[in-house]
Structure 1
Amino acid sequence: MSAVCVYCASGPVDQPYLDLAAEVGRTLAEQGHVVVSGGGNISMMGALVNAAREAGGHTVGIIPRALMKHEVADLGSGELVVTETMRERKRLMDERADGFITLPGGIGTLEELFETWTGGYLGMHDKPVVLLDPVDFYAPLLDWLRELSTTGFVARRSLDRLLITRSVSDAVELATAR
């Protein structure tokens, strides 16, 4: 059994994004994987963990004390870890995960993706970093990054390190491949 950290939105989003998060949580749980999240129980984060638990899965939420009310802490989590800082939260999420899946999200999600992706590129970990993008949410960002690779600002090797898929089943397979 492996643990997969899923980065996603914790703010208001449309139903298709909630459905995507729920499908990821359910698929991970059905395959026996632990779901590691940011410890919130609203929006996509809530859909993810609630679907995982409904499918019999184990969830680990890691949340800073300051966000417990803002993100509505996932008190139903199999394990809820409360940290003092965001840096501690991210460190624990990284340590607890064997792989990462990023879903659509805002600046917090992007920051988590870039930090994890950069860490892998720099050799700080060898865990798979997967970008699940079934609706081309990240297409403009990926186009820009590919353009930056033509100017030398982004190494082609770093782009190759990011595993991009449109399929939930492929994302889970990639994130859990070791």
Structure 2
Amino acid sequence: MGGLAICVFCASSSRIDRRHLELAEQVGAELARRGHSLVSGGAKVSCMGAVARAARAGGARTVGVIPQALVSVEIADQDNDELIVTPDMRSRKAEMDRRSDAFLVLPGGIGTLEELLEIWTSRVLGMHDKPLVILDPHGMYEPLRDLVVKLADHGFVRPRAFDAISWSRSVPEAFDLLEVRQVHLTPTGEDYAEAEP
């Protein structure tokens, strides 16, 4: 299977360990090798820039989406095949969601966490059936996973939330999971009444 528009959520911070940049480069290269295209946050710096450069080097099409306020801060990647400048962060995320067939989450900061949780929640609520995978070879998201398990144990999160996401420690496995057709989760009235996953 090929030809997916894969949205990669990842860091724009310049103060990160080199291993995270290398992971982003591996993701971009694998994405291109499998014939997919990239949708990203449109920044030239850090992991965002690394994944896009590696994807283009492998022949993949890249689309960057960046809010006007961050064009100079995150340094917009003008080498994208298409660079979309949005009025704000909310419209940025909406445009990235609209253009994507699947979502891959790499280690990142609170912005990446926000993107992950929004996509995860909307999938649990049946608002989309696009694959969502966390690629975490270094265990950065293990505390989050433990937290969600604990919340589920206390009844705050429904077990179905774990059907809406996949976790991986390797790049090839993450792409294998992204390429699997997802089962649409049909929410119950109870899900909507509580408005929580």
Q: Normalising by the residue count of structure 1, what TM-score does the alignment of the two structures yield?
A: 0.98
- Using the TM superposition, give the Cα deviation of residue 165 of structure 1 relative to its aligned residue in structure 2, in angstroms: 0.7
CA deviation digits over 1:59-92, x for unaligned, max 9?
0000001100111101000110111111111011
Question: Structure 1 regions of 5+ residues with no counterpart?
Answer: none
Measured in 2, the distance between the counterparts of 1:156 and 1:110 equals 20
Moved runs in structure 1, 4+ residues, more than 3 A? none
**1:43 counterpart = 2:60:** no
Map of 1:111-130 to 2, 5 A cutoff? 111-130=114-133
CA deviation digits over 1:117-151, x for unaligned, max 9?
11110011000110111111111111111111100
Equivalence for 1:96: 99
Measured in 2, the distance between the counterparts of 1:63 and 1:176 equals 26
Equivalence for 1:5: 7
SS at 2:63 equivalent:
strand
Indicate the RMSD between aligned Cα atoms, in angstroms: 0.8
**1:18 counterpart = 2:11:** no
1:120–1:127 Cα contact (<8 Å) kept: yes
- Using the TM superposition, give the Cα deviation of residue 161 of structure 1 relative to its aligned residue in structure 2, in angstroms: 1.3
Structure number, greater radius of gyration = 2
SS at 1:170 equivalent:
helix
**1:79 counterpart = 2:82:** yes
**1:108 counterpart = 2:111:** yes
Question: Structure 2 regions of 5+ residues with no counterpart?
Answer: 182-197
SS at 2:95 equivalent:
helix
Measured in 2, the distance between the counterparts of 1:63 and 1:29 equals 22
SS at 2:75 equivalent:
coil
**1:60 counterpart = 2:77:** no
Measured in 2, the distance between the counterparts of 1:160 and 1:136 equals 20
Measured in 1, the distance between the counterparts of 2:176 and 2:39 equals 16
Measured in 1, the distance between the counterparts of 2:179 and 2:12 equals 24
SS at 1:36 equivalent:
strand
- Using the TM superposition, give the Cα deviation of residue 160 of structure 1 relative to its aligned residue in structure 2, in angstroms: 2.5
- Using the TM superposition, give the Cα deviation of residue 174 of structure 1 relative to its aligned residue in structure 2, in angstroms: 1.4
Aligned partner letter, 2:44 = N
Measured in 2, the distance between the counterparts of 1:78 and 1:155 equals 40
Measured in 2, the distance between the counterparts of 1:9 and 1:139 equals 17
Range with bigger deviation, 107-116 or 156-165: 156-165
Measured in 1, the distance between the counterparts of 2:105 and 2:124 equals 16
Measured in 2, the distance between the counterparts of 1:69 and 1:79 equals 17
Report the identity percentage. 52
